[in-house]
Amino acid sequence: MVLKILKNAESTWRETVRLATPLDSNKPVIIGTKPRQGDFEAYTDNKRIFINVDEKKFRKNFEDIIIPAYEDACHLLYSMPSVPTSEVFPNLVLDNFLFVHFHEQLHPWLCPNSKQDERKISKALYDGVKKKEPGLSKTDILLKVNNSKNLIWDVVLNISFLSKTAGYNNDDLEEKLGFVFAKNKRQIGKSPVTCYPKGILPIIYIISANNRTTDIPISLIGGMYSTLSYNNSDIREKALDFFLDDLKSKKISNSDSIDIIKEMYRGFISELDLKELQKKSIDKDDYKKRVAKIHDLTSPDYEINQKYFISTLTKIFDTYSMRYDSLKGFMKVLSPYMSLSGKQGSPDPNSMGSPGGSGSGEKGEGDSDPSGGGGSGDDSDDEKSQDELDGDSMANTLDDLLGELDPKEADDLLEEAANSGGGYGMGGAGKNLLKKIDTLAADEYYKRNADVLEVRNPSQENVSFSLGTTKRWKLVRTDTLTPADVSRLNHGPIVNFQRSTGLPVLIEAGGGFFKLNQYVLEETPQKSYNSQLTGIEIPDNWVFFQDSSGSMGSKSYVGTGCKFDILNRVKYGLQKGLYKVCKAMKKDLKFGVVDFSDSTHYSGLDSLIKVYESRSHPVKDVSLNPQCGNTYFNSGVFLKIKKDLAPGKSIYTFITDGQIDGDTSSLYRRIDEFSNEGNHSFVFIDVGSASTFGRSIESMGKSKQNVLYFHVSNIKSIKDKLGSILVRYK
């Protein structure tokens, strides 16, 4: 039955969309029956809507929680004298599913409606958290922004939905829904349903609150939705109680919860300029007076206030000059309750289009709550692990903030986030997330700050180039024509052709007959040769061996100028150079990093383009997380590398700043073996004092063209002197 109602809801939604928002008329809805968790999930990739519902669980939740709360006053929501008991469930479920459809459909229309909108919202939230909690580290602010942004998008979207379905601000969704209901003769008992009921929005939040699957911010927002919904005080009180009870279980008293909700309302206008409010005829004092009455749920003018708030907030969200400041003010209130460890709200619908083609936020938190459920439906996400999705989501937030913050603040944020690794006593998901931020921020930092190292091959080669083509007419056919045939010819082109080419087309053949010659233009390419610099011949594999022992620097190395910091500038400079060349020449190579210190880390090889473009990648986890221990090298890693190599030429760049401990004779043998195979080249760089092992490689290099040894006094010299050598062979 639930599925049948869901399909009915889809059909009603589509009919309405055709009239109200025609551009989405053919938006696909994909319905499934296996939510990853809980009873229900819905999400969008902006192009399609995905809804998965477990009929049994969903029905049980509805019957146990919603029906008892709504049953008595259901007729009031539908503005009719009575609703038969048997009609309560199907109608509430239908309207609930309608809300879900509109929620997912309207995401890309209302919030965030573009990449710029997403960025500006993230910045507003950043400013809000920073203002409320000035002592918070930039990394914590970043975490709070990342964890709250989806929830805030939903607030904008849901309040606008209330406005649209109530017909406020000249919106016609209410009218179109009424039209479709009337056209389809929707009835409850014998009464026609003429408009969308007031009080559907909080339903799924109520189920979550009742089941204690929400965090404090969601319950606070659910409470706020309750005060914005319902045209009857009894049901409004019942709905709000669900959230107050949940908040009480989280140690916030009822009166405190009400105060916070009032503060949330005030938050929306707290950062707004008086002049901007006046432009939209919003009186700040009047607004505040109305907020003071929020707790009085039985007040006779409660619905007048509801209408005022829905209409005013929608107006604010819809105005460029107020939208972001309003969310900043709102965030100020929610910030102290916002978790550092878990993301809240629905997933990032716009993250599909972000640079690098990354996926969206987490999947499968699906309780009966759109703010907690789902993930992107992009097929590519199915291949991504939860870690990768988390990384992508965080990277989007970081990206958004870096694009909006002033350059100094952005650099500070990057440095702090990149160096935040071990300093936080957070457990579980938070710790993982921080580790991710480290790597993400360090990656972004070096992408921004490393100078590109030009990758060129100075040798010259003869190359051919086209001089163009030569053309000549070739006779392909001759026909004999009678005078009657001739009179039907197109004489204009014939005369023109004869004049311009001097070739005979129509000629008298005697005896009253004519000959018609037909020609085609033949083209022959003309080539010449020239000697020119052909640029680098891209290898097929590049493995970067890096020493991350204690002498190279500490774990907080980003931007410090220590050896490991400079090494990364060199590494990223080279990556940038190669990435550029790969893109230009439309060729890719496999790239990997071997990090050695106490142990030898290696996470395989992958496309350099993919590694460089990804925000989160196992190669980067190895590359950007120094061990800061001793200088051991386990030469067994060569066996793993060998398995991962693409056929063709391979280059190994090896940088160390001291004596290598461990089985160096085995390492020497591996290098010797590999270099004996024609396609492998080694570039070994000793930094500081020349190591014994380095000297042995230097000797090897004297007899082998494909083993190069360099000794430099400091890492900076690598960049200055050896930039183009690092990936050279022969």
Stretch that binds other proteins, among 401-409, 421-429, 480-488, 627-635 (CB under 8 A): 480-488
Applying CB under 8 A, the site for other proteins has a residue count of: 48
CB of 105 to other proteins, least distance (A): 10
In the window 273-292, what residues touch other proteins (CB under 8 A)? 279
Among the listed residues 67, 87, 133, 179, the single contact to other proteins using CB under 8 A = 179
Would you count residue 500 as binding other proteins (CB under 8 A)? no
Q: Cα dist. 208→168, 197, 212 in Å?
A: 29, 21, 6
User: Which DSSP symbol is given to 527?
Assistant: E
Would you count residue 504 as binding other proteins (CB under 8 A)? no
Among the listed residues 160, 165, 214, 219, the single contact to other proteins using CB under 8 A = 160
Contact 595, 546 (CB under 8 A): yes
User: Which DSSP symbol is given to 24?
Assistant: G
Would you count residue 646 as binding other proteins (CB under 8 A)? no
CB of 490 to other proteins, least distance (A): 3
The CA dihedral of 185, 188, 194, 195, to the nearest 10 degrees, is -120
In the window 325-364, what residues touch other proteins (CB under 8 A)? none
Nearest alpha carbon to residue 565 among 577, 576, 552: 552
Would you count residue 318 as binding other proteins (CB under 8 A)? yes
Would you count residue 703 as binding other proteins (CB under 8 A)? no
CB of 488 to other proteins, least distance (A): 6
- The identity of residue 275, as a single letter, is K
User: Which DSSP symbol is given to 136?
Assistant: S
- The identity of residue 608, as a single letter, is L
CA distance 668 to 655: 15
Strand, coil or helix: 719 = helix
Would you count residue 494 as binding other proteins (CB under 8 A)? yes
CB of 18 to other proteins, least distance (A): 7
CB of 517 to other proteins, least distance (A): 9
Residues linked to residue 516 through DSSP beta bridges, in sequence order: 479, 506
Of 58 and 317, the one with the shorter C-beta distance to other proteins is: 317
CB of 94 to other proteins, least distance (A): 22
Among the listed residues 407, 425, 428, 492, the single contact to other proteins using CB under 8 A = 492
User: Which DSSP symbol is given to 409?
Assistant: H
Among the listed residues 12, 21, 91, 165, the single contact to other proteins using CB under 8 A = 21
Nearest alpha carbon to residue 58 among 30, 31, 25: 31
CA distance 306 to 674: 75
Structure tokens at 147: 């964890």
Determine how β-strand 40-44 pairs with β-strand 650-656.
unpaired
Of 1 and 507, the one with the shorter C-beta distance to other proteins is: 507
Among the listed residues 67, 426, 452, 489, the single contact to other proteins using CB under 8 A = 489
Structure tokens at 646: 């693409």
Stretch that binds other proteins, among 18-26, 401-409, 542-550, 629-637 (CB under 8 A): 18-26
Of 180 and 552, the one with the shorter C-beta distance to other proteins is: 180
Would you count residue 473 as binding other proteins (CB under 8 A)? no
CB of 304 to other proteins, least distance (A): 21
H, E, C per residue of 292-325: CCCCCCCCCCHHHHHHHHHHHHHHHHCCHHHHHH
Of 25 and 255, the one with the shorter C-beta distance to other proteins is: 25
CB of 178 to other proteins, least distance (A): 11
CA distance 532 to 607: 29
Would you count residue 176 as binding other proteins (CB under 8 A)? yes
CA distance 557 to 568: 10
- Which helix (DSSP H) or strand (DSSP E) does residue 449 occupy? helix 428-449
Among the listed residues 255, 380, 518, 714, the single contact to other proteins using CB under 8 A = 518
Would you count residue 319 as binding other proteins (CB under 8 A)? yes
Among the listed residues 108, 223, 559, 592, the single contact to other proteins using CB under 8 A = 108
Of 459 and 513, the one with the shorter C-beta distance to other proteins is: 513
Would you count residue 113 as binding other proteins (CB under 8 A)? yes
Stretch that binds other proteins, among 122-130, 282-290, 491-499, 597-605 (CB under 8 A): 491-499
Place of tokens 């033949």: 522
Q: How many CA atoms are closer than 13 Å to the CA of 210, on its beta-carbon side?
A: 21
Strand, coil or helix: 656 = strand
Q: How many CA atoms are closer than 13 Å to the CA of 231, on its beta-carbon side?
A: 13
Among the listed residues 67, 426, 429, 506, the single contact to other proteins using CB under 8 A = 506
Strand, coil or helix: 106 = helix
Of 19 and 426, the one with the shorter C-beta distance to other proteins is: 19
Would you count residue 502 as binding other proteins (CB under 8 A)? no
CA distance 119 to 403: 7
Among the listed residues 308, 514, 632, 668, the single contact to other proteins using CB under 8 A = 514
- The identity of residue 99, as a single letter, is F
CB of 123 to other proteins, least distance (A): 15
Stretch that binds other proteins, among 213-221, 437-445, 479-487, 705-713 (CB under 8 A): 479-487
Would you count residue 260 as binding other proteins (CB under 8 A)? no
Contact 550, 629 (CB under 8 A): yes
Would you count residue 443 as binding other proteins (CB under 8 A)? no
Stretch that binds other proteins, among 1-9, 111-119, 550-558, 652-660 (CB under 8 A): 111-119
Of 225 and 317, the one with the shorter C-beta distance to other proteins is: 317
CB of 241 to other proteins, least distance (A): 34
CA distance 255 to 252: 8
CB of 229 to other proteins, least distance (A): 22
Contact 284, 274 (CB under 8 A): yes
Contact 543, 653 (CB under 8 A): yes
CB of 183 to other proteins, least distance (A): 10
Place of tokens 């405190």: 256
Q: Cα dist. 215→152, 210, 227, 372, 397 in Å?
A: 14, 12, 19, 10, 21
Contact 267, 333 (CB under 8 A): yes
Among the listed residues 5, 6, 9, 20, the single contact to other proteins using CB under 8 A = 20
Among the listed residues 161, 287, 317, 591, the single contact to other proteins using CB under 8 A = 317
Nearest alpha carbon to residue 569 among 413, 715, 712: 715
Nearest alpha carbon to residue 343 among 156, 131, 117, 154: 154
Would you count residue 28 as binding other proteins (CB under 8 A)? no
Of 314 and 603, the one with the shorter C-beta distance to other proteins is: 314
Residues engaged in binding other proteins (CB under 8 A): 18-26, 46, 108-110, 113-117, 160, 170, 172, 176, 179, 279, 317-320, 323, 483, 486-495, 497, 505-508, 514, 516, 518
